Chain A
Amino acid sequence: SQQGEEDPQALSIQEGENATMNCSYKTSINNLQWYRQNSGRGLVHLILIRSNEREKHSGRLRVTLDTSKKSSSLLITASRAADTASYFCAPRGQGGSEKLVFGKGTKLTVNP
């Protein structure tokens, strides 16, 4: 089954700095999604990038996808304290179940 592995496991930065987190996976994908989880809350979908796309933007978020390296990165620019959360990637295969398979995530702390 598809599972992404996020790296680093934890990241601490100052407000205003950029945060980059990475995701690696093992098999071919149809798309890859990023989700955010604030402490004690459910996950919130951030962005979906299809396998034929290389880069996608949404507000302060920029996601890249390199299918040859089987990796994706999520960049948050001009970070804010409210961005403090755990971030998870979910690679989606071509077929099979619609379930999401998550790694342990990257825990981002943005210090004011």
Chain B
Amino acid sequence: NAGVMQNPRHLVRRRGQEARLRCSPMKGHSHVYWYRQLPEEGLKFMVYLQKENIIDESGMPKERFSAEFPKEGPSILRIQQVVRGDSAAYFCASSPPGAGPNNIQYFGAGTRLSVL
């Protein structure tokens, strides 16, 4: 059973370009979470999705950032018109349905975004 797969592992973009980060959850997991980590910081929650639905986007910046988790295919975190401050490691996690507050999240290895 493969773990949470994120790609690409490293992404370099110039200011103003778009960044697309992909996350395939573990088999059987229908809940996906995105987190962002700045150097020497903990992970900061961005968004929580279930298939075709955004459940909690309280950590998403109001502009330029969007996320989706379609019925088929991976979850996508999209950053439009990137700026240098978007440079960070972006982690995806997944969990199975039904566990509620006892859910354990399984993390991918992350995508490191560098904005030049």
Contact = CB atoms under 8 A, between A and B. Distances in A.
A43 B91 contact: yes
Given A43-B43, A104-B41, A98 B103 contact: yes
Contacts of A30: 101-102
SS class of chain A's interface: helix, strand, loop or mixed? Answer: loop
Contacts, number: 68
Contact of A100 (B33, B55, B58): B33
Q: On chain B, which size bracket covers the interface?
A: 20 to 34
Given A42-B4, A45-B104, A48-B102, A102 B91 contact: no
Nearest to A41: B109
A97 interface: yes
Interface residues of A, number: 25
Nearest to A92: B101
Given A45-B104, A98-B48, A104-B42, 17 more contacts: A30-B101, A40-B110, A42-B93, A43-B91, A43-B93, A92-B101, A92-B102, A97-B48, A97-B56, A98-B56, A98-B95, A98-B100, A99-B58, A100-B35, A100-B93, A102-B43, A104-B40
